Structure 1
Amino acid sequence: MAAASNLPSEDQFLCSVCLDVFTDPVTTSCGHNFCKKCINDYWDTNNQNMCPLCKKVFTSRPELLVNTFMSEMVSQFRQSAQQKASSSSSEQQESKPGEVPCDVCTGTKLKALKSCLVCLASYCETHLEPHLTASRLKRHQLMDPVENLEDRMCTKHDKPLEMFCKTDQTCVCILCICSDHKTHKFVPLKEEYEERKFKMEAQIQQIIQERQLKIETIKGFVDISNRNADREKAEGVQVFTDLKESVERKLNELINTIEEKQRTTKKQAEDSIRELEQEISELMKRSTDVEKLSLSEDLLQSVQALNIHHPPPTKDWSEVSVPPASYEGTVVRAVSQLEETLSKKMKKLVAEVKMKRVQKFAVDVTLDPETAHPHLILSDDGKQVNDSDVKKNLPNNPKRFSTSPSVLAKQSFSSGRFYFEVQVKGKTDWDLGVTRELSKRKGDITLTPQKGYWTICLTNGNQYEAAADPPVLLSLKSGPQKVGVFVDYEEGLVSFYDVEAAVLIFSFTGCSFKKKLLPYFNPELNDGGKNSAPLIISPVGVN
């Protein structure tokens, strides 16, 4: 008898009817082996005495005798399989929570390696072996272990759900596509999976890119914030350094004032003391001379000498005094002066900081000759304009001003903030500001926000006003030599600055622009040469 280690493969001991290891194996006259119960049930079911394998038909049901040799071989095979299973089970992992257990194991459930969609069961390594060796079981569809295998079977046809109906967006079996879904569009489940996987990966990549872009945006905001913080710190250090220097100068002035008064008092006292000491010295000398006369026996001569040596003349010190210097009020006056100085200094420094903040929105502006009134002369670089009193023969296009000696910039703005500066030095009349792209340019023009113009004006050399409705007279300490124009489109703000004095002249607030804005320039009439100086668009930050 062969040793257990040399037993044939398992598929030689499988009944072709039940596909399991023989139980009470019997042999038909055609030489094929079956379980005794399986072959009898087969003949009873089919009502025909035929071999299931070779299809040989018997005239009568053969007498079945147990194949003792096969029974012994099967017994040895079972014993060997049990030993192998016992050894293997000790090496395999026990099923843990969340893992799929083997459906065949009794007692301790081992971890399943595969699930069978035909058997609707999951198997550990040992119980999976028949599906890997038996020819009939090899045809079964295996997959990674999963629970609820029934959910993967078609409830109508009891077949694996291996197709996907795109019309109904549902999983179907191979029989469904021949019946209920035969007119629908369908693809293999794997193809649908690949397509969905591709779309999902594309969506994930898009989301990742969006998140990465968001990260870069946030980093950009942080960089801007850091630059703003650095700028604010630098401006703060500059402002407080200037204020500190002002305080130190005032402190030094206070100390110098007190020390000067102290020196004056001290010198006055020293001079008086020196003069008094000199008189005392003279008196003591005269006293010594008188004492010498007292030693003489010639009284007549002594009396005559006293008449000659009378006390020397001295200063009347009764009205002379050196009172201690009074410092009362010195500190108070110094602090008051410091407060006034600091107030002016702070206002100036704050104004300069504000100017720097708007100047960082500077844009390059050039004049548009197609909009210029025929009287106007524009420089070749588009940075200067003045009135000539002489009308040029130019085409009257829709953009050109026909009555007002005005001109617009080439650049337009429909969002954000922008700033530009214009030199007005030497002029007696001018208008400056911004206007809507579609505002009126022909005939008489009313410079008001209602008409789409936000401007300030100079007339008669000294009268400044904001062109509102009604006009707002502007009280300026001195006429600006250079005017800065700042616009915050979203905020609805138009502000005008005296650049050199770093002072806000006027602001239009709550404006509604809606359309594109263009810088507006009006040098006004030449006035016989009195107003011949040009308006000059200046580089920002250059005074």
Structure 2
Amino acid sequence: MAAANLLSEDQFLCSICLDVFTDPVRTPCGHNVCKNCIDKHWKMNFPMPCPMCKAVFYGRPQLRVNTFISEMVAQFRHKAQQKAGSGSGSGSGSSEQQVAKPADVPCDVCTGTKLKALKSCLVCLTSYCETHLEPHLTLSGLKRHQLIHPVENLEDRMCTKHDKPLELFCKTDQMCVCLMCSVLDHKTHEFVPLKEEYEGKKAALGKTEAEIQQMIRKRRLKIQEIKHSVKISKDDADREKAEGVQVFTALKESVDRGLNELMKEIEEKQKTTEKQAEVFIRDLEQEISVLTKRSTEVEQLSRSEDHLHLLQHFPSLKAAPPTKDWTEVRVRLPSHRGTVVRTVAQLEKTLGKETKKLFEDELKRVQQYAVDVTLDPDTAHPGLILSDDGKEVNDGDVEKNLPDTPERFSSLCVLGKQSFSSARFYYEVQVKGKTAWTLGVSRESINKKGDITLSPEDGYWTIWLRNGNEYEANTDYLDCLSLKSRPEKVGVFVDYEEGLVSFYDVDTAALMYSFTGCSFTERLYPFFSPGLNRGGKNSVPLVVSPVNQTE
């Protein structure tokens, strides 16, 4: 039709959706609109106004599709598509459009099979496939519309109160608003364009993403750390099992060897006794045989009535044949007393060697966790004297004038500066020449004032020396320690996770005592008390010594 060339592009646009007509209808007041658009418009408004001239209808008019305009629109669309195709180059063709999948945004204009939308229009609130998008790319009135990547729920981008696009961000209420909101409901508020707020929020999200990635990296590192700890634990467990098998195999062999030697000794003694008894019995039986023969001869002679015969043989038979005097003869019974004791003593000696070697190996392992400990003067009782390097402490008999802070003990005690809340640690203290001392660890929240009870329940895991020779572990009750020698240097080992506190005689590599099954939930501090001076009898200081690995 030649008339189509005389009309401008804007004359083919619906006044409601601002897009090219789809099923155009004429209102009673003479204006053309899309049938679907006017239906929606009148559903939301009563009385029903014309979107162009605002003429009001109180009854829904009967609307029919304007076939003339429909044909004009069809020709216009065809012409626009040809123009777009020729402008893209003779060698390029339109790619085959895809049918919308469940995860895709479908074209709102397609009828029947929905094609995948290529763009969504924020003005029309409609998503378009490539074909139905053409008017927005060719018509000057539609080119001004804002196109974005296809999205669903375009209605959510409209102000529900004013039916206008959400174009501004209210910083006061932290919400998206339309232009009408900015001059009505939010007129005194601070506004920025959506794009500006978008950039700010995007930057904030970038920072959040960086923080999240950092958190992820830290947690992955923590996973690696945990896996490494498990590997270390498994290696320790395998080594302990191997050493345990080796030690107990040696102990079992010693026990078996001792038992075999015991059985052999007892059996040999018994065989000797049995051989001696056999000799005695054989000699006795021989004598019995001789005596039985003589008894028979004597009996026969005594029955003889031949006077001459009896008198002739009497001299040779009147006395018993010569025999051995068995009165004092005894079987020498072997003494088995002490055999078992001697064997067990030898076994104990062997076990002692194995046990000593085991303790030496154990001490070597714990010494690997040695830490540098110095005494904390802020916690020291005023009567204590600390060396300048913080390694020695003893009772000075005179209290200094020091502030009574919450950290300071009111009894003769001092803590180490260093604290521990995980892993393992070990330190050594020289106690040579002292008649009293207390060593161990304490938790952070202990009571430092008044009467102090040194027990695990009150946060102390310690052992002490009293009266020069009484070694005791401060449990809920005093547990006396049976030591073979007086320790001159004491090693203190703590395994925080395992809940273990052990004390070693460093010089003999002997285990003095262990607190097991402890539950540590706070930081732990090394704990020291040098004991009272006692007029110089206990003036020797406690000395925190450097740890030298035992050979």
What amino acid is the match of 1:439? K
Deviation at 1:470, TM superposition (A): 6.7
Instruction: From 364, 373, 377, give the equivalent of 2:372.
Output: 364
Q: What SS is found at the alignment partner of 2:472?
A: strand
Matches of 1:166 and 1:141, distance apart in 2: 23
Preserved CA contact (<8 Å) 1:165 1:187: yes
- Is 2:525 the counterpart of 1:520? no
Task: For 1:79-478, list aligned pairs within 5 A.
Answer: 91-98=95-102, 99-105=104-110, 108-244=113-249, 351=359, 355=363, 359-367=367-375, 371=380, 382-384=390-392, 395-398=400-403, 408=414, 411-413=417-419, 415-416=421-422, 418-433=425-440, 439=448, 448-449=454-455, 455-466=462-473, 471-478=478-485
Preserved CA contact (<8 Å) 1:94 1:108: no
Percent of pairs with identical residues: 49
Q: What SS is found at the alignment partner of 2:208?
A: helix
Instruction: From 5, 8, 11, give the equivalent of 1:14.
Output: 8
Matches of 1:351 and 1:379, distance apart in 2: 33
Matches of 1:213 and 1:421, distance apart in 2: 36
Preserved CA contact (<8 Å) 1:368 1:407: no
Q: What SS is found at the alignment partner of 1:213?
A: helix
Matches of 1:156 and 1:399, distance apart in 2: 70
Change (3 A) 1:506 1:82: closer
Deviation at 1:208, TM superposition (A): 1.9
Change (3 A) 1:123 1:484: closer
What amino acid is the match of 2:99? S
Matches of 2:144 and 2:237, distance apart in 1: 78
What amino acid is the match of 1:484? G
Task: For 1:491-506, list aligned pairs within 5 A.
Answer: 495-499=502-506, 500-505=508-513
Task: Specify every segment of 5 or more residues in structure 1 that has no aligned partner in the other structure, as ranges.
Answer: 21-34, 44-71, 266-331
Change (3 A) 1:348 1:399: farther
Q: What SS is found at the alignment partner of 1:175?
A: helix
Deviation at 1:171, TM superposition (A): 3.2
Matches of 2:31 and 2:519, distance apart in 1: 97
Matches of 2:167 and 2:215, distance apart in 1: 36
Q: What SS is found at the alignment partner of 2:246?
A: helix
- Is 2:492 the counterpart of 1:481? no
Preserved CA contact (<8 Å) 2:502 2:514: yes
Deviation at 1:422, TM superposition (A): 2.2
Deviation at 1:215, TM superposition (A): 1.1
Task: Specify every segment of 5 or more residues in structure 2 that has no aligned partner in the other structure, as ranges.
Answer: 15-23, 33-70, 87-91, 266-270, 272-339
Preserved CA contact (<8 Å) 1:89 1:126: no
Deviation at 1:424, TM superposition (A): 2.9
Matches of 2:479 and 2:112, distance apart in 1: 99
Q: What SS is found at the alignment partner of 2:490?
A: strand
Change (3 A) 1:344 1:109: same
Change (3 A) 1:15 1:534: closer
Matches of 2:119 and 2:5, distance apart in 1: 20
Change (3 A) 1:12 1:206: farther
What amino acid is the match of 1:96? A
What amino acid is the match of 2:530? N
Change (3 A) 1:345 1:152: same
The aligned counterpart of 2:286 is: none
Preserved CA contact (<8 Å) 1:94 1:109: no
The C-alpha deviation readout for 1:491-543, integer Å capped at 9, x for no partner, is: 98765433324223364987999897453242654777x76765443333545
Deviation at 1:82, TM superposition (A): 7.8
The TM-score with structure 2 as length reference comes to: 0.56
Q: What SS is found at the alignment partner of 2:159?
A: coil
Preserved CA contact (<8 Å) 2:135 2:142: yes
Change (3 A) 1:41 1:410: closer
Matches of 1:174 and 1:136, distance apart in 2: 21
Q: What SS is found at the alignment partner of 2:513?
A: strand
CA RMSD of aligned residues (A): 5.8
Matches of 1:440 and 1:177, distance apart in 2: 67
Preserved CA contact (<8 Å) 2:382 2:401: no
Change (3 A) 1:102 1:236: closer
Matches of 1:79 and 1:454, distance apart in 2: 94
What amino acid is the match of 1:483? V
Matches of 1:182 and 1:402, distance apart in 2: 67
Change (3 A) 1:89 1:147: farther
The aligned counterpart of 1:272 is: none
Matches of 1:495 and 1:503, distance apart in 2: 7
Change (3 A) 1:186 1:496: same
Preserved CA contact (<8 Å) 1:385 1:534: yes
The C-alpha deviation readout for 1:350-395, integer Å capped at 9, x for no partner, is: 655665565455332345678587796x7675545667xx978x85
The aligned counterpart of 1:284 is: none
Matches of 2:119 and 2:509, distance apart in 1: 86
The TM-score with structure 1 as length reference comes to: 0.57
Deviation at 1:227, TM superposition (A): 2.4
Larger radius of gyration: 1
Q: What SS is found at the alignment partner of 1:131?
A: helix
